[in-house]
Amino acid sequence: MKTFISPSKLLKQHSIKDVIINNAIYIVLFFLFLTIVLIDPSFLSLKNAGFILSQSATRMIFACAIAGPIVLGGTDLSAGRLIGMAGLITASLLQSPDYTARVFPNLPRLPIWIPILLAMIICALFSLIHGFLVAKQKVAPFIASLGMQLVVYGLMSVYFDAVSDSAPIGVLDEKFTGFAQNGITILGFRLQYIILYAVVVVALVWFIWNKTKLGKNMFAIGGNIEAANVSGVNIVFNMLAIYVMAGLLYGFGGALEVARTGSATNALGQGYELDAIAACVVGGVSMRGGIGTIKGIITGVLLFQVISYGLVFIQVNPYLVYFVKGAIILIAVVIDTKKYIKKK
Amino acid sequence: MKRLLSVILVCVMLLSLAACGSGNKPGPSQSSTPSASQSAEPTKPANEKKPVIGVAIFDYSNNYVTYIRNSIMSVGGDKADIQMVDAQNDQAKQVEQIDILLSKGVDVLCVNAVDPKAASTIISKAKAADVPIIFFNRSPSKEDMLSYDKCWYVGTTPEDSGRMQAEMAMEAFKNDSKFDKNGDGVLQYVILKGTLGHPDAEARTNAVQETFANAGFKTELLDVQPGDFKTQTAKDVTDVWMGKFGDKIEMILSNNDAMLLGAIEAAKAEGYFSGDASKVMGAIGINALPEILPAIKDGTIIGSILSDAYSEGLNIFTMAYNVATGKDVYEGVEIKPDDMKAIRVPYIPISKDNVNVAEEMYAKALNK
């Protein structure tokens, strides 16, 4: 049961040096934040905080979703494309009824929950197939998800080409964009509804991870699959459940992403899985499986968003932004490896 | 049992793929087989076989090129056997595909190069097989173009779209005092740039600034940020601008419409572009995509610059068909070639008054 020791417990037994090493990522990020504020103090405003939170909302959902397969000891490269597929489906079914060039001109005005639910179910089905390949057929998660990524991209591109001749699907129903973008303004801080949905999703995932048998089994499988098997955990069922949960969240998050940005193409979602994985790693989720906390993941997403928003804000050379993000990921991975060695 | 399940799984997936494929339009699917094309026109004598035209596309998922390839199919699908391939934005793959097309014995090649610098490789292959080439959309260098007498180019002048965008901005700013929000006579603007290093992104961004400078028009460029030609990236960038500059921005100029859609969405959350007369912001795109036309029509944005995909497709096919059937290559082509044998289709500025021009172009391009 070694795997259940949280990193914070490990910390208490060690010296200040260890504390610094273990928190190096946060220290680096704090200095980056400080640099941004020093260059342009107007960065510290409620308005910017509101934007950063609303930009983080869907990313939190994606990170919480992808964290499941990672904690199981795998990964999910198909996440971005599934998010894109969900976005395309909802966008194509929820265009403004006043727009004459809709992709489905005869479609009645649907209540927004129908396409969202449809997108969630379709994503869940693909994730179920993916989970089946990994859990039952023992395909390496990297390869299985790479294959799924291409399959999903191919299918969504065919759909995109068939319904809209590869032109962006835009002019969405205001009910739908409002569902994500509307909100309330309190003292200059704009709380968009999309943030509330993210909070609900995060709470739900936290509950599943920490308070249910499924969550405990997930950590057990990720920590040591043989041990979990011997102690009577139904490996296949639990893994499938985690994958399906991830799929449902990709679907919901993809729909929100398109409501947030107002249009979709088949390029939607490209590379999102890497952002989500990076946020997880920075937040302390181990790529070796079995370790991770929701708190860490949320911190990871927020830190990444503050930095990428901040670097644009102070007008850093855009090429340099890649460098900074890459360096942050590398530091996080080094720390993860150090923790892993300690665990052994 | 396990094996059976996985076999069934694969079958279902393949079936669903086949089902999707069959519902497809002629554009993206492969051409008809030679036997089918012969039986299609039984009245013609047997020796008057349809010419075979090989078309190499750089990336099927590119919007604009999709309109071009649909136009080629809708103009020439009946007259020739058109074999279209997708390089998925990979130059190595495209060179292999061109080898295959050449070995199949196409009469003429139409090439939308992934990397225009690779044109010399493509030209030497075609030269060896004595097959003429029509390059399009991405221009090879003049030197490459002149190295082979049987090669031509159909495209645009990328700088023109940026120049027209700047001209549209100047006209709007001069004619409508509401855009000069701070009343200083200087246009405060931001540019959403395409992918860094992309030839169109660089050409358009530079042309906008040069046009302003040459006209002696007073501007203040608040920021240029790359939006990768994508809606989502542009939306995130514009969020930052709203936080940083807010009402200081008088106009957003975007390298393409997809990014402008994202920018509008971000600014909407701050009350712009939603009919509130006190919240003014100008916006001009490039492409005049169908999705942006309603916003131009109702005056939400100033306009966009239409790239005429239909005329490009029409000219590509006409020239390819001409050389394949032994006619003069420029027969029926209305635009005069320049000194590198290039036919440059003009851009058309689209504003509130001429949205129908864009709508008609799309109707023709999609053959609806």
Q: Are residues B92 and B191 in the same domain?
A: no
Domain boundary among B289, B306, B323: B306
Q: Are residues B176 and B240 in the same domain?
A: yes
Distance of alpha carbon A336 from alpha carbon B1, whole angstroms: 40
Yes or no, beta carbons of A101 and B293 under 8 Å apart: yes
Q: State the sign of the Cα–Cα–Cα–Cα dihedral A23, A28, A31, A32.
A: negative
Q: Looking at the DSSP assignment, which residues form a beta bridge with residue B306?
A: B287, B348
Nearest C-alpha in B relative to A268:
B232
Among B92, B153, B103, B143, smallest CA distance to B126 is for: B103
User: Rounded to the nearest 10 degrees, what angle do helices A141-164 and A113-135 cross at?
Assistant: 150
Query: For residue B60, which residues of chain A lie inside 8 Å, CB to CB?
Result: 157, 161, 166
**Candidate from B28, B63, B264 with C-beta closest to A168:** B63
Higher-confidence residue of A166 and B129: namely B129
pLDDT at B129: 87
Percent of chain A with pLDDT over 90: 56
Query: In this structure, is residue B251 part of a structural domain?
Result: yes
pLDDT at B318: 93
Query: In this structure, is residue B240 part of a structural domain?
Result: yes
Long-range contacts of B6-13 (CB under 8 A, 24+ apart): B6/A137, B9/A129, B9/A132, B13/A129, B13/A151
Yes or no, beta carbons of A262 and B262 under 8 Å apart: yes
pLDDT at A9: 54
Query: In this structure, is residue B339 part of a structural domain?
Result: yes
**Candidate from B23, B61, B243 with C-beta closest to A48:** B243
Number of domains in chain A: 1
Burial class for B336, CB neighbours closer than 10 Å (0-12, 13-18, 19+)? exposed
**Residue A301 neighbours by CB distance under 10 Å:** 29
Best mutation target, A161, A163, A240, to test chain B (most B CBs within 10 A): A161
Structural domain harbouring A30 = 2-343
For residue B65, give the CATH number of its domain: 3.40.50.2300
pLDDT at B357: 92
Distance from CA of B16 to the nearest CA of A (A): 9
**Residues contacting A16, CB < 8 A, separation 6+:** none
**Candidate from A132, A158, A168 with C-beta closest to B231:** A168
Q: Are residues B125 and B183 in the same domain?
A: no
A321: which 2 tokens?
């932004």
Yes or no, beta carbons of B28 and A161 under 8 Å apart: yes
Q: In terms of pTM, does the model score above 0.90? A: no
Yes or no, beta carbons of B60 and A157 under 8 Å apart: yes
pLDDT at A98: 84
B293: which 2 tokens?
């036309």
pLDDT at B200: 84
For residue A50, give the CATH number of its domain: 1.10.3470
**Residue B319 neighbours by CB distance under 10 Å:** 27
Yes or no, beta carbons of A262 and B23 under 8 Å apart: no
Q: Are residues B103 and B189 in the same domain?
A: no
Number of domains in chain B: 2
The secondary structure element, H or E, covering residue A275 is helix A272-282
- What's the rounded mean pLDDT across residues A262-269? 87
**Candidate from A48, A55, A159 with C-beta closest to B236:** A55
The parts of chain B modelled with pLDDT lower than 70 are 1-48, 368
Query: For residue B269, which residues of chain A lie inside 8 Å, CB to CB?
Result: 181, 190, 192
End-to-end CA distance of chain A: 12
Q: Give the SS3 label for residue A100.
A: coil
| pLDDT confidence tier of residue A335, bands split at 50, 70 and 90 | confident
Structural domain harbouring B257 = 159-306
Distance from CA of B234 to the nearest CA of A (A): 9
Q: Are residues B180 and B284 in the same domain?
A: yes
Query: In this structure, is residue B228 part of a structural domain?
Result: yes
Q: Where are the alpha helices (DSSP H) in A40-97?
A: 46-71, 79-93
Q: Are residues B257 and B325 in the same domain?
A: no
- What's the rounded mean pLDDT across residues A5-32? 70
A30: which 2 tokens?
């704090």
Q: Where are the alpha helices (DSSP H) in chain B?
A: 2-22, 34-40, 63-76, 91-104, 119-129, 142-146, 158-175, 199-214, 231-244, 257-268, 293-297, 309-324, 355-365
pLDDT at B237: 94
**Candidate from A45, A162, A263 with C-beta closest to B23:** A162
Nearest C-alpha in B relative to A171:
B291
Q: Are residues B243 and B316 in the same domain?
A: no
Query: In this structure, is residue B25 part of a structural domain?
Result: no
Higher-confidence residue of A80 and B117: namely A80
Distance from CA of A20 to the nearest CA of B (A): 32
Q: Are residues B231 and B280 in the same domain?
A: yes
pLDDT at B15: 56
**Residue B127 neighbours by CB distance under 10 Å:** 16
Yes or no, beta carbons of B261 and A262 under 8 Å apart: yes
pLDDT tens digits, residue range A102-136? 889 889 999 999 999 999 999 999 999 999 999 99
Q: Are residues B67 and B198 in the same domain?
A: no
Q: Are residues B245 and B123 in the same domain?
A: no
CA angle A305, A308, A311 (to 5 degrees): 140
Query: In this structure, is residue B353 part of a structural domain?
Result: no
Higher-confidence residue of A10 and A66: namely A66
Among A126, A118, A113, smallest CA distance to A173 is for: A113
Q: Where are the alpha helices (DSSP H) in A72-223?
A: 79-93, 113-135, 141-164, 174-181, 193-211, 213-223
Query: In this structure, is residue B16 part of a structural domain?
Result: no
Query: For residue B289, which residues of chain A lie inside 8 Å, CB to CB?
Result: 167-168
CA angle B108, B111, B115 (to 5 degrees): 150
In contact, A2 and A319? CB cutoff 8 Å:
no
Torsion region of B342: left, alpha or beta (phi above 0 gives left; psi -120 to 50 gives alpha): beta
pLDDT at B92: 82
The secondary structure element, H or E, covering residue B152 is strand B151-155
pLDDT of residue A255 exceeding 90: yes
Tell me what percent of chain A is helix, strand and coil, each rounded to the nearest 5.
Answer: 75, 5, 25
The secondary structure element, H or E, covering residue B351 is strand B348-351
Q: Are residues B288 and B178 in the same domain?
A: yes
Q: Are residues B239 and B131 in the same domain?
A: no
pLDDT at B44: 45
Least confident of A17-21, A209-213, A232-236, B110-114: A17-21
